[in-house]
Amino acid sequence: MFNNKIEVAFNKQINEELFSSYLYLSMSAYFASIALEGFSSWMRVQAMEEMIHAQKFYNFIIERGGRVTLDSIAKPQIDWKSPLEAFEDTYKHEQHITSCINKLVDLAIKERDHASNNFLQWFVAEQVEEEASAESILQKLKLIGDKGNGIFMLDKELGQRVFVMPPATK
């Protein structure tokens, strides 16, 4: 039987992941509106990854005999002052998600739910990668500043990212 406290918390995390996807789609639209298609593409890939994260929680809840309960998704921000500000927000958001995952691990340990703890370890590792990726782009944007050529070079680099389905989507 799936622990009720963990079921509720995992359902909340589905909403966090869906909001993340929604936020990154909004950022993608923002970047497209200022003709930064590489940035836009990078964010669309990020949005797809977040959707997969939500699906992993969804599948796990069902696999454990729980009930998925979907909630409303908050409206994301739609405009930023600059690519730098958008990636500052991206990095802060990834830190927020890391905090959410860490709290879920703490709960799984407290509730002695070893299967949930094991499941969450993938997300612990994923968040290290997510934060590092966002911070790397943020640092590049800080170095570039308002220099158009640097932004366009970074835009080209970010446009090379492609979505890769994770090996196990459960």
Query: Where along the chain do its domains lie?
Result: 4-158
27 close to 125: Cβ distance less than 8 angstroms: no
Distance CA 24, CA 48 (A): 9
- Return the CATH class of domain 4-158: mainly alpha
Longest dimension (CA), the chain: 57
Q: What is the pLDDT of residues 82-101, one digit of tens each?
A: 999 999 999 999 999 999 99
Residues 6+ apart with CB under 8 A from 34: 83
Cut 0.85: pTM above it = yes
| Count of H-run helices and E-run strands, the chain | 5, 0
Token pair, residue 166, equals 């994770």
pLDDT of 165 strictly over 90: no
Q: What is the pLDDT of residues 127-136, one digit of tens each?
A: 999 999 999 9
How many CA within 13 A on the CB side of residue 29? 9
